[in-house]
Structure 1
Amino acid sequence: MNTSRAHVALAVGVAGVLLLAVIIMSPMLMTSIPSFLGSGGTGRTDCLDGGTPVQEVSDTGAADIPADYLELYKKYGKKIGVQWNILAAVGKRETDHGRSNMAGVKSGTNYAGAAGPMQFLISTWGGKAQIAMSSKFSGYASDGNGDGVGNVYDPADAILGAAKMLKRNGAPEKVRQALFIYNRAWWYVDQVEQIAKGYAKSGDVEVPPQADDSCDDPLVEAAPSDVVAKILEFALAQRGKPYLWGGTGPDAFDCSGIIYAAYRAAGLLIPRTTFGQWPFGVKISQGEEQAGDLVFFNAGPGTGPDNPGHVGMVVSKGKMVEARCTLCGPIKVTSYQARDNIVGFTRPLQNPDVLEQLKKLQNAAL
């Protein structure tokens, strides 16, 4: 059964811009879908990205998914922050993990112009099937195998691109929404979700428990100071709350608002907006950042290499807590290493005004 396919990428930037891109995609491939049976057991979950569960593979999944594809689904699901079994289910539903001999899977395109194991329309990939990652392009072309080229037919590249697309559209929390945008048909969403459940040992599609504190303790305990620990405790406690432009709590926040409020919770006053926070902190070289530092991104209208429009707070190396945008899902811990628009890092606690505030707090405690 073939149907027309549409991708709609909708995001509201932190600086208040609304971006709408409607992209017509390829027909879906109806592969043989296994009749998954419940395993009767519960798979182990581990803490990842501040609470994202990592599910074990079911016997059915291990038997059906090629080993190299399984490794890629798990690798890029973890790196980008989406459920690996959802990625795998998309790969199954689209091309039977690249095993299909239909047009466009291994070369060329199908009649709608889609290609590769995850069936990207060439125009959404970057304008051509193979594109140098050093070039400027608009699309989901990705370099998963590190050869400098985004190749829509390469499983590593295609699976990484699909993970980014799902993440952009609401996964892992709003995974059904993300799947509906991937292919605008609820029957497709139901089929992919059913396949994903069969691939996980738990027999389910796990959603990150954003309010679960079980993964917070190690982050707070590893904080470089008691002050940073207080900042982290507040910021992590806001997970699951919605993004709100201009929000400073207590029910919703924007990107700089949650940081402003977290520092206030520790008794410190810093600038309210991203534009004020960027020049406020002492610049830190990438790789030297630590919990409590801020990471800035070139995102939003009127921003640039030295005028970032989005900010997150580092909670551990490679991870940040952020309020990203209205349609990006609730406040959560994400990976900043996967972003390609990082402007830089700062340490507000080294600002002279903050150092003076810290002295007053210490004196008041004596």
Structure 2
Amino acid sequence: MTVPPRRASLQTSFRVISARGRSRPVLAIVLALAVIVPLALIGSIILMTPLPSFLLGGRSAEDCAQAGTIATGASETARTDIPAEYLELYTKVGKQTGVQWNVLAAIGKRETDHGRSKLPGVSSGTNYAGAAGPMQFLISTWGGQAKIKVASGINGYASDGDGDGYGDVYNPADAILGAAKMLKRNGAPDDLRRAIFVYNRATWYVDQVLEIAERYAVTGDIGLPPEADPACDTNYVAAASDEVVQKILEYALDQRGKPYRWGGTGPDAFDCSGIIYMAYRNAGLSIPRTTFEQWPFGVRVQQGSERPGDLVFFNAGPGTSVDRPGHVGLVVAPGKMVEARCTRCGPIKVTTYGDRPNIVGFTRPLENDQVQAQLRHDLT
């Protein structure tokens, strides 16, 4: 995506705060909590009332269910700054796709001030880089022309958000839906930094979009899926009927929140195959260490037949191909996997894989002859 020059409206609506500027409020909050939290604990003991889940180091099922991928409300800043038509569209598309509405809104703000910019390419034509519409798609990325009939097999992000059968890059309903699809294809709602970076390849752009998104949410938070929160109990382990699979999932899920590190096998950081290797070791099983070795090791499984404990492989990373996948995740539930993705992709977490590109296939290491022999030995 292309970035229009900064406009006065953007500067007056959103003040960029430096890290140094944030330090004093953050320090004050930390010091305040140091006093408040112990008092809250004492008060709770005296009153014999349950403590809030965040003080207990976890989140209740109700809290996690309410978190979701969609911010529950727009802040006063959002309601004041976003035109009503656009706010309705951002919210609708967010619910439809699972991409945070406030992230979509932040991109719309940063790109064209929600379609209000008078710069070339917003309401007609293209800008100097060939981008068009309120969400600033390259025409080639959209589908080859500004308005195109949406049909199966279309090569691009052209989307029909208003039900007229056409994807019009200048129509906000179509453009916002197309932006959501692009973000989701590249990691949203879990891996927002990567998804936004692919949208416009600049780290400063990612930072600005996320800051605007925080200001637009009534909670002041970006919003994450509950399964991406290591404090949320999503019952993946309990749902696995096999005790061996439970041990594998238990280890992998316990690593949520830890960073990615190439070649890492813990305990502080892991790479994609390292966390799987160690999860199987936790169940007393030995499998190959690297993705390249893990791919031919397990028995192939058809997509749709995978189950917890299986591996899902992707044609991603340097030196990889459809016959040599370079990325792997551990299936924890239908459509869900634990993955350590990359240094810039955020911490280890549960993500979705059903709509991810470049899936090479699925394997079941538990049905490998060597693993079967290990399981039989454990039973004797």
Which residue is 1:349 aligned to?
366
Partner of 2:220: 203
- Higher CA-based Rg: 2
Counterpart of 1:278 (choices 295, 300, 303) is: 295
**Residues 108 and 173 of structure 1: is their aligned pair in 2 closer, same or farther, counting only changes over 3 Å?**
closer
Which of 103, 127, 131 is 1:86 aligned to?
A: 103
- Alignment-derived partner of residue 64 in structure 2: 46
1:234 CA displacement: 0.8
RMSD of aligned residue pairs (Cα, Å): 4.0
Q: Distance in 1 between matches of 2:327 and 2:223?
A: 29
> What residue is the counterpart of 2:46 in the other structure?
none
The residue that corresponds to 2:312 in the other structure is 295
Counterpart secondary structure, 2:213: helix
Greater per-residue strand proportion: 1
Deviations 1:31-56 (A, max 9, x none): 577699xxxxxxx95359xx976421
Deviations 1:238-294 (A, max 9, x none): 122222222222222211111111100111111111122112111111111111111
Q: What are the within-5 Å matches in structure 2 for residues 293-332 of structure 1?
A: 293-332=310-349
Cα displacement (A) at 1:236 = 1.2
Asked if structure 1 preserves the Cα contact closer than 8 Å seen for 2:253 and 2:338, the reply is yes
Task: Tell me whether 319-328 or 256-265 shows the greater mean CA deviation.
Answer: 319-328
Q: Which has the higher contact order (CA 8 A, sep 6+)?
A: 1
Change (3 A) 1:85 1:259: same
Give 2:74's aligned residue.
58
- Which of 246, 249, 252 matches 1:232? 249
Structure 1 position 345, deviation (Å): 0.8
- Mapped pair 1:257 → 2:268: no
Alpha-carbon distance in structure 1 between the residues aligned to 2:294 and 2:187: 30
Q: How far has the Cα of 1:344 moved from its partner?
A: 0.8
**Superposed counterparts of 1:1-366, under 5 Å:** 25-28=3-6, 31=9, 46-47=64-65, 54-58=70-74, 60=76, 61=78, 64=84, 65-76=86-97, 78=98, 83-98=100-115, 102-122=119-139, 134=153, 141-142=156-157, 145=160, 152-153=169-170, 154-155=174-175, 156-162=177-183, 164=185, 171-172=191-192, 178=197, 185=204, 189-190=207-208, 192-193=209-210, 195-206=212-223, 212-363=229-380
Give the SS at the match of 1:243. Answer: coil
Deviation per residue, 1:128-175 (Å, 9 max, x gap): 657998588xxxx4355599998654321133224556859x943789
What whole-Å deviation, never above 9, does each CA across 1:303-343 have from its counterpart, x for those lacking one? 32232121111111111111112222222221112212111
Cα pair 2:159 2:168 within 8 Å, conserved: no
| Residue in structure 1 matched with residue 41 of structure 2 by the alignment | none
State whether residues 87 and 105 of structure 2, in contact with CA within 8 Å, keep that contact through their aligned partners in structure 1.
no
Q: Which residue of 2 aligns with 1:40?
A: none
Partners of 1:231 and 1:266 within 8 A in 2: yes
Native 8 Å contact 1:133 1:150 kept in 2: no
Task: Report the identity percentage.
Answer: 53
The TM-score, its normalising length taken from structure 1, stands at 0.71
Answer whether contact 1:179 1:189 (CA < 8 A) is retained: no
In 1: Cα distance, 2:261 partner to 2:91 partner: 37
Structure with bigger helix share is 2
Alpha-carbon spacing, 1:26–1:281, altered in 2? closer, same or farther (3 Å): same
